[in-house]
Amino acid sequence: MFNEKTSKVAKGSLKYLTGGSGRPLIHLHGAGGVRPNPGLEALGKNVTLYMPVLPGFDGTSTIDGVDSMETLADLVADFIDKEIGEAADIIGLSFGGWLGAWVAVRHPDKVGQLCLENPAGFRPDSVPAPSSDPETRKQEMYAYPDRVPAETKSEEMLAQNRAMLAHYHGDTSFDADLAGQLGKIECLTMIMHGTRDGRVPEEAVQLLKRDIPRSHLIYVYDAAHSLETDQPARFAHLVSDFMERAEAFLVNQGAAGVRPQQVL
């Protein structure tokens, strides 16, 4: 469903996957890199997804001068300029949600609507860090590990992807600079949190809801951190509805509405 392309941005080139039909939606990936999955495929029935491979992830090279969340956000804004040519909607998963918030703060004119999906970067110091034990980590990541598509990336690539997190944000788990600027986010924002997410704490999404002016917090039942694979139908339905109806997505459409089961 998704085709690989390359975008020529000011500071270099950026690989991206694109596919689907409908208005453009920029998808910013998490720590695992770009990962097509049934949730994104279902979402692609209603929007055209643009999924840039952020520099250094998935075997790509880093770009000189792009070594922080701020400069990475500038790069995404440039990507939107080059590929979309006007303000675009953004959805970001985990690390990508953190980045999406930075784009909205630094480039409000480039963002239409914003969706933060289990966003990292806002875990207060008072909340213990997630587990590093592999088995516990797996439970925190996936409510339904069997729904995760087969791994196509090498161990080496996955390790490199994880290393890129430190490249962009060091060992920060609470981005105080960004947290202090959340009030500047002007666009309509939806914060999604899986009820079984063991990586992003409740305190983080409550903070985002409190400080982003036009925001909605939606809990996705029975999903862990990997929300797109745990509950692909709910994910696609919710994001599609939010993107299509904006603020009016609060209002029940009755029989005219599409239920999650009909999305897949």
Partner 1 sequence: MRFSYTHHMPYTGVTDAGQDWPVPNKQFDAEKGVEMFDRYIEDKIYAEQAGFDWIGSNEHHFSPYGMMPNPNLVGAVVANRTRRAGILQSGNIVPISNPIRIAEEYAMLDVMSGGRLIAGFMRGIPHEYVAYNVSPDESYGRMYEAIELIKKAWSSPEPFGWEGEFYQFRAVSIWPRPVQKPYPRILMSASSDASARLAAEVGASAGFLRIADFDSARNQIKVYRDRAKECGWSPTADDVMIGMNCCIAPTYEEAKEILQNGQKYFFGVLGGGIRTAQQLVVQKTRYFKDAGAAEKFAKKTAVQREVSFDERVERGLIVCGTPEMAIDQIRRIHGELGNGRMNLSVKIGNIADHHVTRTLDYLRDVVFPAVRPLGEDNDPAQAAE
The binding site for partner 1 (CB under 8 A) comprises: 195, 206, 209-210, 216-222, 231, 234, 237-238, 249-252, 260
- Residues 192/93, Cβ–Cβ less than 8 Å: no
10/250 with CB nearer partner 1 = 250
Opening angle at CA 151, ends 2 and 174, nearest 5: 85
For residue 150, the 8-state DSSP code is P
54/91 with CB nearer partner 1 = 91
Cα(78)–Cα(45) distance, integer angstroms? 26
9/182 with CB nearer partner 1 = 182
77/238 with CB nearer partner 1 = 238
Shortest reach from residue 226's CB to partner 1, in Å: 16
Shortest reach from residue 115's CB to partner 1, in Å: 13
Question: Helical H runs in 1-124?
Answer: 38-43, 69-83, 95-106
Shortest reach from residue 194's CB to partner 1, in Å: 10
Shortest reach from residue 203's CB to partner 1, in Å: 11
Cα(252)–Cα(22) distance, integer angstroms? 23
Cα(180)–Cα(1) distance, integer angstroms? 39
2/144 with CB nearer partner 1 = 144
Q: Residue 193: which of 91, 113, 116 has the closest Cα?
A: 116
Shortest reach from residue 144's CB to partner 1, in Å: 13
